[in-house]
A and B are shown apart, each in its own frame.
Chain A
Amino acid sequence: MKKAPIPANEEERLKDLFTYNVLDSAPEQSFDDITDLASHICQTPIALISLIDNDRQWFKSNHGLDAAESDRDVSFCGHAIHQNDIFEIKNASTDTRFSDNPLVTDEPKIVFYAGYPLTSTKGYNLGTLCVIDHKPRELTESQKKALRILGRQVIGQLELRRSNANLIKVSKRIQEQSEKIEKQQEAFIEQAKMASLGLMAGGIAHEINNPMSVIHLANMQIKLLPESKKSEKITDATSKIDRTVERIVKIIKSLRTISRDASHNPMSEAFLDKIVEDTLSICREKFKSRGVSVEKSGDFSTEILCREGEISQILLNLLANAFDAVENVPEPWIRIQAEQRDDEVVVSVIDSGEGIKDSSKLMDPFYTTKPVGKGIGLGLSISKTIAKSHKGRLELDKSSPYTKFDLALKVPPLKDEKQKKSV
């Protein structure tokens, strides 16, 4: 038996074959139609679309043969791919190249073979369209013509299949890019909203401040009235006005701090307690109105080196997330705690929510578990970036039984230590 030889361009040929991504694929009607037609026209019991792989021949379509593949060494098609036209063996049992081939001596007992090489657009012979019989014979000229036509159809189908697959790949990539762009657009809108919220906060602060000034001065005028002209009710009312003014002024100051774009400002020392209180003043009423209790615990007396507005933004984001997490739990609470550790202070925001199931992508941009419309998942990512710009960290404490985010910030050295260093 003569083994099917390996073509000189085998490496390139295989590379080209693999680009069709067809090996081991499921049967397809368009290819089965071709082998059915070949078998009918050539009047053979067997017709195959055979592709020559590294060490096997694999059948994309199989008419009349109970096999999916066979060894390359014994394949007739392995010989046929060396030809440019039909490779015909009229009687394999008397042909010295094939007479002792197991495919001849055993099942499927090939006697007649005619295979037309399937030539790719790059010029490589990938396999054959072949017809097989169990008796000696030869194809007529019109049968040979038909085999050639059908062989070209097989290549056409393989090309179409490859183009479709590429189109699907490109389409998927376009879809992914489109989704990415959409998310980026949402992010820009969100950022623009936040920027305009900042502007709005500034505008609101300004708009509130003047009427506040009027209330404050008018109240002062009443308080300066002689005692004889004041009733107990007026005294009580003016005290209330004083306290309310103080509360609103605090909110205005917090809005002002948060609305300023401080990202280019230098860092300065600020009391942690003030930052936390300023932030809480914005959201305390909302939390209270929804029955969510907010507690502070630990030591907030330290000074930190920071841009106040940015730290406030981080805390506001953590508090907003905590609020969303506890909104529907039976005992909703949020705790802010501070702990001094060596040269840093760790401010933690803890909530009684259901916890975070998968924290692996928590700080990634656009990752969110919130329902549509409740945020696009940029808050933690931005907060983490801000913390990093402060040479600090924002992390989820996985050891806590509750959802606990830790914001670690540097504490500047004590003033007397600074003086010692400068001497």
Chain B
Amino acid sequence: MRNKRSQYEFSAYFEDEIELSDLIAGQVRELGVNVETTDTAEEALEMMSTCDYVLVISDIRLPGIDGLQMIKKVLDSNGHHPVFYVMSGFSDYSMEQILEAGARRFYEKPGGLIDLINELQNFFSE
């Protein structure tokens, strides 16, 4: 049974950089929003199959799966389609490819992370 979450919940998927995960999740919680995190792609897909997240933030490089393929898989499915914000530190994919795959926004590490945090404020105030 799918778990309907409130609009203030979203999942954030980070790669194995735990400290970065803590920092960004911490920033978002300060906005009064619930965050669920994971550092593996398998768990990320499992979570998205059982919960209707409003927003998913994901690094394009995830252990276990190609981030772009993950986005396409979720958006091509008949299930719930969250909004994808994608972070990229070093990737074979260009911004154009990532946006074409269905991501709404793209942020490049490290400088783009501040823009991400500012954008999250806008997203949840709408």
- Contact residues of A with B, CB < 8 Å? 202, 205-206, 209-218, 220-221, 245, 249, 252, 256
* Known pairs A202-B90, A256-B90; A210 contacts B20 (CB<8 A): yes
The answer, among A205, A216, A218, A256, for a CB contact under 8 Å with B111, is A216
- A220 B114 Cβ-Cβ under 8 A: yes
- B23 A214 Cβ-Cβ under 8 A: yes
Which residues of B are found within 8 Å of A202, using beta-carbon distances? 90
* Known pairs A202-B90, A206-B89, A256-B90; A217 contacts B61 (CB<8 A): no
- B90 A216 Cβ-Cβ under 8 A: no
Q: Which residues of chain B (107-126) have a CB below 8 Å from chain A?
A: 109-111, 113-114
CB distance from A206 to the nearest CB of B (A): 4
Which residues of A are found within 8 Å of B111, using beta-carbon distances? 216, 249
The answer, among A209, A210, A215, A217, for a CB contact under 8 Å with B114, is A217
A144 to B122, CA, bound (A): 119
- A213 B90 Cβ-Cβ under 8 A: no
Query: By the criterion of a CB under 8 Å from any partner CB, how many residues of chain B are at the interface?
Result: 15
Interface of A, helix, strand, loop or mixed by DSSP: helix
Q: Is B46 an interface residue (CB 8 A)?
A: no
CB distance from A389 to the nearest CB of B (A): 22
Q: Which residues of chain B (1-57) have a CB below 8 Å from chain A?
A: 15, 17, 19-20, 23-24, 27
Which residues of A are found within 8 Å of B114, using beta-carbon distances? 216-217, 220
- A217 B90 Cβ-Cβ under 8 A: no
A249 to B111, CA, bound (A): 9
- B89 A210 Cβ-Cβ under 8 A: yes
CB distance from A261 to the nearest CB of B (A): 11
Q: Which residues of chain B (68-126) have a CB below 8 Å from chain A?
A: 89-90, 109-111, 113-114
A252 to B110, CA, bound (A): 11
- A214 B20 Cβ-Cβ under 8 A: yes
- Contact residues of B with A, CB < 8 Å? 15, 17, 19-20, 23-24, 27, 61, 89-90, 109-111, 113-114
- A210 B17 Cβ-Cβ under 8 A: yes
Given contacts A217-B114, A256-B90, 17 further A-B contacts (CB under 8 A): A205-B90, A206-B90, A209-B89, A210-B89, A213-B17, A213-B20, A213-B109, A214-B19, A214-B20, A216-B110, A216-B111, A216-B113, A217-B23, A217-B24, A217-B27, A218-B23, A249-B110
- B109 A209 Cβ-Cβ under 8 A: yes
A-B contact pairs, 20 of them (CB 8 A): A202-B90, A206-B61, A206-B89, A206-B90, A209-B90, A209-B109, A212-B109, A212-B110, A213-B89, A214-B19, A215-B110, A216-B110, A216-B111, A216-B114, A217-B23, A217-B24, A217-B27, A217-B114, A220-B114, A249-B110
Which residues of A are found within 8 Å of B109, using beta-carbon distances? 209-210, 212-213
A220 to B111, CA, bound (A): 11
Q: Which residue of B is nearest A220, CB measured?
A: B114
CB distance from A125 to the nearest CB of B (A): 77
CB distance from B91 to the nearest CB of A (A): 9
- B89 A217 Cβ-Cβ under 8 A: no
Which residues of B are found within 8 Å of A213, using beta-carbon distances? 17, 20, 89, 109-110, 113
A215 to B17, CA, bound (A): 12
The answer, among B17, B23, B90, for a CB contact under 8 Å with A252, is B90
Which among B15, B110, B113 has the greatest number of chain A C-beta atoms within 10 A? B110
Which residues of B are found within 8 Å of A216, using beta-carbon distances? 110-111, 113-114
A217 to B17, CA, bound (A): 13
Which residues of A are found within 8 Å of B19, using beta-carbon distances? 214
A205 to B19, CA, bound (A): 18
A215 to B20, CA, bound (A): 9
Which residues of B are found within 8 Å of A245, using beta-carbon distances? 110
Which residues of B are found within 8 Å of A217, using beta-carbon distances? 20, 23-24, 27, 110, 113-114
Which among A206, A212, A217 has the greatest number of chain B C-beta atoms within 10 A? A217
CB distance from B53 to the nearest CB of A (A): 23
A221 to B114, CA, bound (A): 10
Cβ-closest 6 pairs across A and B: A209-B89, A213-B110, A216-B110, A210-B17, A206-B90, A213-B109
Which residues of A are found within 8 Å of B24, using beta-carbon distances? 217
CB distance from B51 to the nearest CB of A (A): 26
A276 to B23, CA, bound (A): 35
Which residues of A are found within 8 Å of B113, using beta-carbon distances? 213, 216-217
A211 to B20, CA, bound (A): 8
A233 to B20, CA, bound (A): 25
Which residues of A are found within 8 Å of B89, using beta-carbon distances? 206, 209-210, 213
* Known pairs A206-B61, A249-B111; A214 contacts B17 (CB<8 A): yes
A256 to B109, CA, bound (A): 13
A214 to B24, CA, bound (A): 9
Which residues of B are found within 8 Å of A209, using beta-carbon distances? 89-90, 109-110
CB distance from A163 to the nearest CB of B (A): 60
A221 to B113, CA, bound (A): 12
A397 to B13, CA, bound (A): 55
A334 to B23, CA, bound (A): 44
